Chain A
């Protein structure tokens, strides 16, 4: 929320937000899709390696986060929209909720896991 205070600009006439500024091209979308597909393939392969514990989980989580960021950033235009004036408001709304959800529920799971 603090972010948006510095970003605040009611005096500037806002523009409609997505007609002029750059969105990815068709080619870029395909590239992202191929990367996503490759990561998914690696994930599946990794899960068949017979690893256990952190060796299994940590790389999978990392790949999951990368996929998440690519979809949110490119397909949902977050990384493009956020370059607009005040575009960071999107981060505020969505990012705050993401962070909140992750933190809160990690604490809950930790409380159950360790019972301390």
Chain B
């Protein structure tokens, strides 16, 4: 066994592998621990959203079948005009306001771009732009959430209840769960912003921002799926 000089071997366990200027830190794969962990976490989120999207697709299909067959239990949970529209179209499309949702999808997509700009800015240690882009991203995310709140109230006013039928339960759960993820993302962005204004978000912490970015893009990607699967293919 070759003994390595103590200085090199003292690789403290709390190394989280953010990018350091010294060469002291190295990991077996040459990747940072935090980043690897983030990707692993996002991987497990795939399964979570996969399960929820499948649940939505199944629940919606079962709901439509019952509506078209005229099951009184299901029809009793919806206002008559919605039932007529569903039965006429043979789909749940009449519920959705595609232009509105398209706009909010666009806003979320936009926030991904501002997020990468924030990361670029911090890589160059450009404090002003880092703050600017972080704030923009958080703001765009908040607009998306506001849009979702508005959309939920519209659904509610149209007569779709969370505890009424399968469609209500599945739709509110899937989009709401995504909304919770966006909200958590916004909180993280705001926390970073606070740090930035206190002058504590410098180049050394580019990776922290990058990790928040990864999470943010993931949430965006999930919305790409939800938008197509739920709204465009009703």
Contact = CB atoms under 8 A, between A and B. Distances in A.
On whether A and B touch (CB less than 8 Å), the answer reads yes
B42 interface: yes
Contacts of B47: 97, 100-101, 104
Contacts of B39: 90, 93-94
A30 to B, nearest CB: 7
Contacts, number: 150
Given A96-B43, A101-B47, A57 B233 contact: yes
Interface string A12-33: 1111111100011010011001
Given A29-B120, A93-B43, 7 more contacts: A14-B28, A19-B19, A24-B116, A60-B233, A76-B213, A76-B221, A84-B30
Interface string A33-76: 10011001001101110000000110011011001100110011
B94 to A, nearest CB: 13
Interface string B70-111: 000000000000000000000000000011001001100110
Given A33-B113, A72-B217, A75-B112, A17 B46 contact: no
A71 B43 contact: no
The dominant DSSP class at the B interface is: helix
Chain A, interface SS category: helix
Contacts of B218: 76
B43 A40 contact: no
B190 interface: no
A61 B228 contact: yes
A6 interface: no
B30 A15 contact: yes
Contacts of B225: 64, 68
B35 A17 contact: yes
Size category of the binding interface on chain A: 35 or more
Pick from A57, A85, A94, A100 the residue with the most CB of B within 10 Å: A94
Contacts of B220: 71, 75
A49 B168 CA distance: 27
A27 B8 CA distance: 41
A37 B23 CA distance: 42
B30 A86 contact: yes
Contacts of B233: 47, 56-57, 60-61
A102 B58 CA distance: 15
B42 A94 contact: yes
B232 A43 contact: yes
A83 to B, nearest CB: 13
A106 B58 CA distance: 11
Interface in B42-60: 42-44, 46-47, 49-51, 53-54, 57-58
A109 B57 contact: yes
B31 A36 contact: no
A9 B27 CA distance: 10
B113 A30 contact: yes
B214 interface: yes
